[in-house]
Chain A
Amino acid sequence: MNQSKGTTSADTRDESAEPVLSIEGLHVQLPLGSERAYAVEDVSYALLPQEILCVVGESGSGKSLTARAVMGLLPAPHVQYEKGRILFQGEDLVQASDERMRQVRGSEISMIFQEPMTALNPVMRIGDQIDEVIRFHEKLPGKRRRELALSLLEDVHLPDPPRIMSAYPHELSGGQRQRAMIAMALALEPKVLIADEPTTALDVTTQAQILHLIRELQVKHHTGVLFITHDIGVVADIADRVAVMQHGRIVEIDTVERVLNNPQHEYTRALIDAVPGLVPRPVKTDSGEAILQVRQLVKTYRSGGRFLGIGKPQKEVHACDQVDVVLNESETLGIVGESGSGKSTLARCIVRLHSTDSGEIVYRGQDLCPLDRAAMRPYRSKIQMVFQDPYASLNPRATVGRILTEGPKIMGESTREAENRAREMLELVGLDVRAFERYPHEFSGGQRQRIGLARALAMRPEILVADEPVSALDVSIQAQVLALLADIRERLQLSMVFITHDLRVAAQVCDRIAVMRLGKVVEQGPTAILFEQASHPYTQELLDAIPGRDWSRRRIEAARG
C-alpha cells in the first residue's frame, strides 16, 4: 500500500448517497455478572455504498460483536440482542426471519474472517466451496458456475485458477487462502462486505497485498466495506471513514483524515499516540564490546522418521542456516522476519532450549553449544527469556510468588532472599506487591507479561531474549510494556535480543536490526541506517509493507516542522 489512495476514494464516494447499511441505537446485552452490562451500547453508524468504513478499537471494545449482530450471528444464548435497529437497504434485519437472513448472508451481505484456515472447510476443494456458495443462492448450470468461480479466482489474482479450484485449503499459503475467502465472499456481488480483522493473522507483506486487493475489488464491484481492525496503520491505508469504539460505545466517527490528523476524543488521541512512530532510534555510539556472538549457527528440523528413528527423515526444514549475529553490551538487537523465517528458533537456540546442529554461540568468550546441562547451569541465569503468549507462559497452577522464586532458589538463594527479590521485582515491573500470593488467571494480559518479565529479571540476567513480547497485546498496553522494557534496560544496563515481526516496534526499541528470511540473515545494521537505505530488496519490501507508512511519515514531518 505504497501509493496514495486519497484521490481514488474521493472519486468513488458519494457523500449524499443513501446508506446501504445503517445501525441505529444498537444494544447488545452481555450475560449477567460480566464486567459491563452491554457488549455494544447505543451504537449507531451508517455505511454508504462504495466506501470503506473502518471500525477500530482494542479487544473487548465490541467492534466484532456489532458486525456479528448485523449477520445475525451473535453467540446465543450468552450474548443477546436487546434493542435498536439494523437497517439494510431500508429493511430491519433484526426483525427478519431466519429464512430471510439465510438469503441475506452470503448473497447480499458477506463476511471474511481473521483466520482463513478455520473459515474454510479443510476436507473440501476450494472450487467446491465456491460452487456451494453460488449454488445455494442462484440457479445456474454447472458449467456456468465453474466459469464464474474461475473468473472470481482470477479477480483475486490467484495464480493458475484451475489448479487452485482443485486444491485443498492446506495446500495454499495463508495469503492465498485469504484471497480464496475473498473470492467466495464476493461471488454473488454483495452490497456489503464485512471484513473482521482479515489481515491480522497474515505476514506484513501479504497483509499489504490483501489490503490492496480489498481496495481494488471494492472499487470494481461498488461494494460497501465494513472493515474491523485494531491497527491504526491499516486504518490509515484503507479507510474512507473511521469509527472508534471503546467499551462498547462509539466515541468518534468521521473521515479518516480528520480522525487520524485531528482526533477530537481523548481515547482516539491515546490510541493514535500509542502507535509506534516510525522514527528509528539514533545510532548508538557507546555500545560496549560484544557480549554474545552467534557464528555460523545451523539448526535443521527433521520430521517423518520411523520407528526408533530408523529410516530416512522425510522432510527437512532449515530453520537457521549459517546465521551470524553479534550482540554488544547494553544494546538492543532486533531480529525481524516473517513467520517461518527462523527468528524464534534462533531465540530458542540462544537460550539453549533447542540443541544446535553446528556453529557457535559465544557468551563472553565461552561457546555454550557443547555444554551439557550441568556445565550450562552457571550460564543459565545470565541469559533469560520473555515469551510471546502471556496466557501460556505462566503455570496456571502456581502462585506468582512461586513462579518468581523458583529460579533464584535453583541458583542457590535461600527462600527468604528469593522472596525479597521477587517482591522487589514485582515493584520494578510496576505491579502491586500483593500479587505475590495470587494466581496468574487473576491478571490481565499486560500484567501477565510484566510477571513474565519479573521472572526473567529475578535471575539477574545480563542478556534478555524477548520473543515477540508485545505482539499478543493491545496497542495501548503494548506501548506501556515497551516503555517498561526500555526503562528497565536502561536501569539495569541489560543487553537485549528483541524478536519481532513488526518493523514499527523494532524501529522504536532496537539499536541494530538483523532481517531474517527463510533461515538466513539477509541484512543487518543500525536501525536508522537500515530504515534510510536498505540495501537488500527484501528489507525494502518489508519497509514498504508497513501499514500506515505514509501517514506515519507525514505525522513525523508535521511534528518536526
Chain B
Amino acid sequence: MAFWRRFCRNRSALIGLVILGFVILIAASAGLLFPEDPFKLVGRAMSPPGENGFLFGSDTLGRDVAAGMAHGARVSLLIGLLATSVAVTLGVLLGALAGYFGGWIDDVLMRLTEMFQTIPSFIFAILIVAIMKPSINSVILAIAVVSWPAVARLVRGEFMSMRNREFVQACHIIGMSDWRIMVREILPNCLSPIIVTGSLMVATAILIESGLAFLGLGDPNIISWGFQIGAGRTVLRSAWWVCTFPGIAIMLTVLAINLVGEGLNDALNPRLRERT
C-alpha cells in the first residue's frame, strides 16, 4: 500500500493510469459497443464525423472509423503486451546468464546482443515481417526480436553488480545452486527496473505495430490503428477524420503508458523517493 501511495503522489502518472484504464475498457467492450465486423461496409463512404450515424465518420469504403478504433484497441494492447512479455523473458534470461557467469558466456551473449542492436530496429522489424508473411504472430515476433537487447543489457548490468554482493556470496557458502541464486536471490532485487523498462516497451511495441500496419505489413485480417491510418492517408485532405482519430488514439495510449511507466519508476526506485 505504501507503493500505491507513492505512485499516487505523481499526478501525471495518475492521469496516465486513467487514460490507460479507459482504453482498456473500450477494448474490452468493443464487441458490445460495435457488435458488427469492423471491416463491414455499413454506410455511405467518406461521411464526416457526426453524420449518417458515424461518431468519427466513415472511410473511403464506408467502414465505421469508431468501430475500427474500438476493435483496433484490442489488437494494439494485445500486441503490446505479448511482444513485451516475449522480449522481457528472452532479455532477462540472456542478461541474467551473461551478468551472472561473466567470462566467455558474457562475451558471446553480449556480442550477439550487439549484433541485434546494430540494425535499426524498425527496418529490422519490417525485414522479419516481410520474410515471414504478415500475420499477427509474425508481427509479435518481429517486435520481440527487436526489443529484447535493451532488456538483456539492463539485466546484465543489474546481475553484475549484484553477483559480488556479500549476500550472494553468503548463498554460495551455504551451498546454494547457481540457478536458485539467480532466480530466488538476485532476480527479486532487480525487478523494479525490469518492470519500468517493460512498461515503457509496451508503448514502443504499439508504435512499431502501427508503423508496420501503416506500411501494409500488418495482419490483413485484423483491423488496427496503424491499418486505419494507412488506409486513410490518400484522402488526408478530403477526409481528415479517417487518419486523425486513430492517430490521436495511438498518441494518447502511448503517452498514457509512458506516464504510468515513469510513475512506476519513481515509486519503485528508492533513490528517487527522497526527491518528493
A181–B100 Cα distance when bound, in Å, is 39
Q: Please tell me which stretch of B118-126, B171-179, B259-267 contacts chain A, meaning at least 4 of its Cβ atoms lie within 8 angstroms of it.
A: B171-179
Among B111, B166, B175, B188, the residue within 8 A (CB) of A393 is B166
Q: Could you tell me the distance in whole angstroms from the C-beta of B180 to the nearest C-beta in chain A?
A: 9
Q: Is B170 an interface residue (CB 8 A)?
A: yes
B174 and A397 within 8 A (CB):
no
Q: Is A387 an interface residue (CB 8 A)?
A: yes
A129–B48 Cα distance when bound, in Å, is 70
Task: Known A385-B170, A387-B169; judge A395-B175 contact (CB<8 A).
Answer: no
Q: Is A411 an interface residue (CB 8 A)?
A: yes
- Quick one: closest B residue to A408, CB to CB? B174
A389–B107 Cα distance when bound, in Å, is 31
Q: Could you tell me the distance in whole angstroms from the C-beta of B88 to the nearest C-beta in chain A?
A: 19
B104 and A381 within 8 A (CB):
no
B167 and A353 within 8 A (CB):
no
Among A380, A394, A411, the residue within 8 A (CB) of B173 is A380
B185 and A398 within 8 A (CB):
yes
B185 CB contacts on chain A under 8 angstroms: 395, 398
Q: Of B169, B170, B171, which is in contact with the most chain A CB atoms at under 10 Å from its CB?
A: B170
A70–B167 Cα distance when bound, in Å, is 39
Among A353, A376, A381, the residue within 8 A (CB) of B169 is A353
B189 CB contacts on chain A under 8 angstroms: 395-397
Q: Could you tell me the distance in whole angstroms from the C-beta of B101 to the nearest C-beta in chain A?
A: 13
Question: Which B182-213 residues have C-beta < 8 A from chain A?
Answer: 185, 188-189
Task: Known A394-B167, A395-B167; judge A381-B107 contact (CB<8 A).
Answer: no
How many contacting A-B pairs (Cβ < 8 A)?
Answer: 63
How many residues on chain A are close to B (CB under 8 Å)?
Answer: 31
- 1/0 contact string of A356-400 vs chain B (CB within 8 Å): 000000000000000000001100110111011100111111100
- Quick one: closest A residue to B185, CB to CB? A395
- 1/0 contact string of B117-145 vs chain A (CB within 8 Å): 00000000000000000000000000000
Q: Could you tell me the distance in whole angstroms from the C-beta of B85 to the nearest C-beta in chain A?
A: 22
A452 and B170 within 8 A (CB):
yes
- Quick one: closest B residue to A397, CB to CB? B188
B174 and A351 within 8 A (CB):
no
Question: Which A323-356 residues have C-beta < 8 A from chain B?
Answer: 348, 351-353
- A sample of 6 cross-chain residue pairs with beta-carbon separation below 8 angstroms, ordered by A number, consists of A392-B167, A394-B167, A395-B185, A407-B174, A407-B176, A410-B176
The 6 closest A-B pairs by CB, nearest first: A407-B174, A393-B166, A380-B175, A387-B166, A397-B188, A392-B166
Footprint of A on B, CB under 8 Å? 103-104, 107-108, 111, 165-167, 169-176, 185, 188-189
- 19 further A-B pairs in the complex, CB-CB below 8 A; given A309-B104, A383-B173: A307-B107, A308-B104, A308-B107, A308-B108, A309-B107, A353-B169, A353-B173, A380-B173, A380-B175, A392-B165, A392-B166, A393-B165, A393-B166, A393-B167, A394-B167, A407-B175, A410-B175, A411-B175, A455-B170
